[in-house]
Amino acid sequence: MPSPRGGADVVVVLAAGQGTRMRSPLPKVLHELCGRPLLGYVIDQALSLDPRRVVVVVGHGADDVRAYLEGLGLGERLAVVVQEERLGTGHAVQCALPEVGEATGRVVVLYGDMPLMTAASLRELCDSQEGAGMALFTALPLDPRGFGRVLRDPETDAFVRIVEEKDATPAERDVEEVNVGVYAFPGPGLLEYAPRLSSDNAQGEYYLTDVVSAFVRDGRPVVPVVLEDEQEAIGINTLAHLAEAREVVQWRILEEHLAAGVRIEDPATTYVDWGVTIGAGTRILPCTVIRGGVAIAEDCEVGPFSHLRTGTVLERGAKVGNFTETKKARLGAGSKASHLTYVGDAVIGARTNIGAGTVFANYDGVAKHETTVGDDAFVGSGTILVGPARVGDGATTGAGAVVTGGKSVPPGETWIGVPAKPHTRRTQT
């Protein structure tokens, strides 16, 4: 059954690389970009084509990569195959063929270390592949940095072949157009040519580009699609590449929030991970870091110099200010932690004020403990709340108070001192 326009029958993701230039034992595709593994972005790319199946080829750190993929909950739609020996991109596709099955529609090949490709570009690639022909992405980067060069007929401008940089002549290396390595094949054509690949070359590898050459040799159309945005072609091979890609992904994330009505005063100094939710009307001030797994409601204020870590929830109108860090903490509607405060493993009610210099001491060296603060409470400056502890509705702690673990400040009472005790007002005779 032919693939619909802009879609694919099967998507093959090549994710077996070790990434030795990353200088890390972590599999390359599991390195995080804005709080999410590289591979997660590529799986989204694959799913944007609405395929019947996604086949991921893994190798280095296969167990870890498989565990991540299984956690995505794609069920039987996802297949994982192991490339025991890394013998090139063509060999990786050969490993995937049993799971590709008798594909009669379009087969798209993606890479687990190319997180910047957009769904719109991939749909354009698929729309360019018709019938027995194939399509491939090319780009015109300022720095080719190891890409294969795309050679065209000087008279007709038709695609001729791809030459790998290490095999190219000096004249061929001067060619500006490069092969990105992302392809849309007709399923039958890929199943016909991929098993025939040979490793008879200087590297002893199976090149997927040889499949492209087979299409040309047999007179089948090969359509080069030039990426309008060369940033989409960025592949992650070093930590420098990862940092380069982060700038692109971060701006995309911030653009989505800006379009949704979030006021980000200085995007250049604002860092928001993937998967963060922020309500309209919220104001994000400069030098703020918001990690994945944070949920911020409408009309809140965060920053400047705030750090919101995973598990933080701000309800409507809450405020986290200067040099305040939160972790696994919920601030109720209208509550404030404005200055120099650490709020960890805490549940804070509505309209409560957390004074400057307050510390929620949540870790005893072995385990984390939660502290709760009720509605309309006032936690004085410099208070230390040693979890587990509780401050009731409308209660107050004096400046510098230490509420020790297991203690509970009853609703409406005021506790002061070290350790904190109920404050009894003396009556004047």
The stretches in the chain having pLDDT less than 70 are 1-6, 425-429
Cβ burial, residue 295 (10 Å; 0-12/13-18/19+): middle
Give residue 137's pLDDT.
96
Q: Which fold has domain 239-422?
A: UDP N-Acetylglucosamine Acyltransferase; domain 1 (2.160.10)
Cα separation, 343 vs 41, whole angstroms = 31
For residue 189, which amino acid is it? G
Q: Are 332 and 349 in contact (CB under 8 A)?
A: yes
CATH architecture under which domain 10-233 falls: Alpha-Beta Complex (3.90)
The per-residue pLDDT for 39 is 98
Residue 268, number of CB atoms within 10 A of its CB? 10
CA distance 329 to 308: 9
pLDDT at 101: 86
What's the pLDDT score for residue 427?
54
Name the residues annotated as catalytic: 339
pLDDT, tens digit (0-9, with 9 covering 90-100), for 355-410: 999 999 999 999 999 999 999 999 999 999 999 999 999 999 999 999 999 999 99
Beta bridge partners of 403: 385
Q: What is the pLDDT of residue 2?
A: 55
245 C-beta neighbours (distance < 10 Å), count:
22
Amino acid at 25: P
Question: Roughly what angle, to the nearest 10 degrees, separates helices 62-70 and 38-47?
Answer: 50
Q: Where are the domains of the chain?
A: 10-233, 239-422
Give the per-residue SS3 of the chain: CCCCCCCCCEEEEEECCCCHHHCCCCCHHHCECCCCEHHHHHHHHHHCCCCCEEEEEEECEHHHHHHHHHCCCCHHHEEEEECCCCCCHHHHHHHHHHHHCCCCCEEEEEECCCCCCCHHHHHHHHHHCCCCCEEEEEECCCCCCCCEEEEECCCCCCEEEEECHHHCCHHHHCCCCEEEEEEEEEHHHHHHHHHHCCCCCCCCCCCCHHHHHHHHHCCCCEEEEECCCHHHHCCCCCHHHHHHHHHHHHHHHHHHHHHCCCEECCHHHEEECCCCEECCCCEECCCEEECCCCEECCCCEECCCCEECCCCEECCCCEEEECCEEEEEEECCCCEEEECCEEEEEEECCCCEECCCCEEECECCCCECCEEECCCCEECCCCEEECCEEECCCCEECCCCEECCCCEECCCCEEECCCCEECCCCCCC
- How would you class 200 by CB atoms within 10 Å of its CB: exposed for 0-12, middle for 13-18, buried for 19 or more? exposed
The pTM for the full model equals 0.91
